[in-house]
Amino acid sequence: NFKNLPETIEKTADITKEQLAFLLATEDDAMIQDLKQRARNTGDRIYGKNVYIRGLIEFTNYCKNDCLYCGIRRSNCHADRYRLTEEEILSCCKIGYELGFCTFVLQGGEDGFYTDEKICQIVSKIKAEYPDCAVTLSIGEKSRESYQAYFDVGADRYLLRHETADEAHYKKLHPVEMSYQNRMRCLRDLKEIGYQTGCGFMVGSPYQTVDTLWEDLQFIRRLKPQMVGIGPFIPQKDTPFGTETAGTMEMTLRLLSIIRLIHPHVLLPATTALGTIHPKGRELGILAGANVVMPNLSPVAVREKYKLYDNKICTGDEAAECRFCMQKRMESIGYQVAVNRGDFQP
Ligand code: 5AD
Ligand code: FES
């Protein structure tokens, strides 16, 4: 029955845990090629040959949390901390807009310096200046009231990876203070408020198993997020997980395909982490069913400092270089960079 597996997934969006285990482990190349092709065809049917670009602005690497895997965790005294001013953030948007970006992703650690008032002011200014653009926030766990306030001033989307949908696994990645329950509460609130909402997880994080991945897929089926961000776990040497093994490209590609097939309309990035573990990772991610890329718009002066993991790519490249590099990469595989907001298509 495994022979017809990919077809089954596409038709029923109903992969079982046993089938998941099989697909992640198999060395049957023809079957995997088939899985990726079906995922890619599904993406093409909905979004065509378009790949959406999001301009990523990493505006602070201060963080009050202490996630064991993350290079900007508060206990990492080797992290060289920075914050961008409102003017600097707006200047990144200007450069990005001129390069054809219509989505700005403001991402940062959980940094109390940026009060709700400050965030609202930044979002309002971007929306006033670029009314045809979408603003995505990726600034972690907040109260429902805060999420509502950002939404009311025009924030369109919110990325908050759930990290793992298995509560015991969540505790192993975040042993202190953070809670699985609150993470889930945040995602529910974001979706209810009306954000295009993104969840996601790392592939190959320490203690991940087929069972925890299965919970991730079940969670995606329940939440029906507009976006899902996944990328390989990559150790950062100054963290407690600094000597753990990285996730693999192949596992990430298979999971991208499976997610495309179980949730066909999802906006699915081929992430920087995927590009970091393999020189053609992002292209292969698109070919496995992803349809979004997120080139960096942060000022080159701070790029090196936003180091969630080691060996991150593009840290020396200006925004324009990444923009055109990405265009060449996508064209090399028969896709085009779409110069529009790239909203979720229900
Ligand atoms: N390797 C890969 N991804 C990481 N992230 C954080 N640390 C790492 C790492 N070492 C991911 C988390 C987070 C997102 C912003 O980056 O999933 O949600
Ligand atoms: Fe940054 Fe290629 S995308 S240099």
Q: Mean pLDDT across the stretch 7-22?
A: 78
* Proximal ligand: closest to the CA of 200: 1
Q: Of the ranges 15-19, 26-30, 83-87, which is most confident?
A: 83-87
Per-chain mean pLDDT for the chain: 96
Is residue 58 in contact with ligand 1, taking CB distance under 6 Å?
no
Q: What is the pLDDT of residue 209?
A: 98
**What spacing in Å lies between the alpha carbon of 203 and ligand 1's midpoint?**
10
Instruction: Give the tens place of pLDDT for each residue, 74-97.
Output: 999 999 999 999 999 999 999 999
Q: Where residue 8 falls among pLDDT bands split at 50, 70, 90?
A: low
Is residue 318 in contact with ligand 2, taking CB distance under 6 Å?
no
Ordered structural domains, the chain, with CATH: 53-338 (3.20.20.70)
Q: Which residue's alpha carbon is nearest to atom 1 within ligand 2?
A: 322
Look up residue 272 and give its two tokens. 């920087």
Q: Which residue's alpha carbon is nearest to atom 3 within ligand 2?
A: 322
Please state, for a pLDDT cut of 70, what percent of the chain lies above it: 97
**In terms of C-beta density within 10 A (0-12 exposed, 13-18 middle, 19 or more buried), how is residue 98 classed?**
exposed
**What spacing in Å lies between the alpha carbon of 252 and ligand 1's midpoint?**
14
Is residue 233 in contact with ligand 1, taking CB distance under 6 Å?
yes
Q: Which residue's alpha carbon is nearest to atom 6 within ligand 1?
A: 70
Residue 110 has pLDDT above 90, yes or no: yes
120 is in an annotated binding site: no
Q: Where residue 188 falls among pLDDT bands split at 50, 70, 90?
A: very high
70 is in an annotated binding site: yes
Q: What is the pLDDT of residue 13?
A: 72
For the whole model, what pTM was predicted? 0.97
Q: What is the pLDDT of residue 9?
A: 61
Is residue 163 in contact with ligand 1, taking CB distance under 6 Å?
yes
**What spacing in Å lies between the alpha carbon of 343 and ligand 1's midpoint?**
24
Q: Which of 69, 107, 164, 311 to mutate to test the pocket of ligand 1 (most atoms within 8 A of CB)?
A: 69
Is residue 250 in contact with ligand 2, taking CB distance under 6 Å?
no
Instruction: Give the tens place of pLDDT for each residue, 299-340.
Output: 999 999 999 999 999 999 999 999 999 999 999 999 999 999
Question: CA-based diameter of the chain, in Å?
Answer: 59
Q: What is the pLDDT of residue 177?
A: 94
Question: Which ligand 1 atom lies nearest to the CA of residue 163?
Answer: 17
C-alpha distances in Å from residue 284, one per residue of 34, 152, 255, 276, 280 = 14, 38, 12, 12, 6
Q: What is the pLDDT of residue 6?
A: 60
Q: Where residue 1 falls among pLDDT bands split at 50, 70, 90?
A: very low
ipTM surpassing 0.90, yes or no?
A: yes
Question: Which ligand 1 atom lies nearest to the CA of residue 138?
Answer: 15
Q: Where residue 10 falls among pLDDT bands split at 50, 70, 90?
A: low
Instruction: Give the tens place of pLDDT for each residue, 189-224.
Output: 999 999 999 999 999 999 999 999 999 999 999 999
Please state, for a pLDDT cut of 90, what percent of the chain lies above it: 95
Q: Mean pLDDT across the stretch 112-116?
A: 98
Q: Mean pLDDT across the stretch 38-44?
A: 96
Residue 254 has pLDDT above 80, yes or no: yes
**What spacing in Å lies between the alpha carbon of 12 and ligand 1's midpoint?**
31
Q: What is the pLDDT of residue 14?
A: 81
Q: Mean pLDDT across the stretch 265-281?
A: 98
**What spacing in Å lies between the alpha carbon of 163 and ligand 2's midpoint?**
26
Residue 2 has pLDDT above 60, yes or no: no
* Proximal ligand: closest to the CA of 320: 2
Is residue 293 in contact with ligand 1, taking CB distance under 6 Å?
no
**What spacing in Å lies between the alpha carbon of 317 and ligand 2's midpoint?**
7
Question: Which ligand 1 atom lies nearest to the CA of residue 201?
Answer: 17
Q: Mean pLDDT across the stretch 134-152?
A: 98
Cβ pair 267, 291 in contact under 8 A? yes
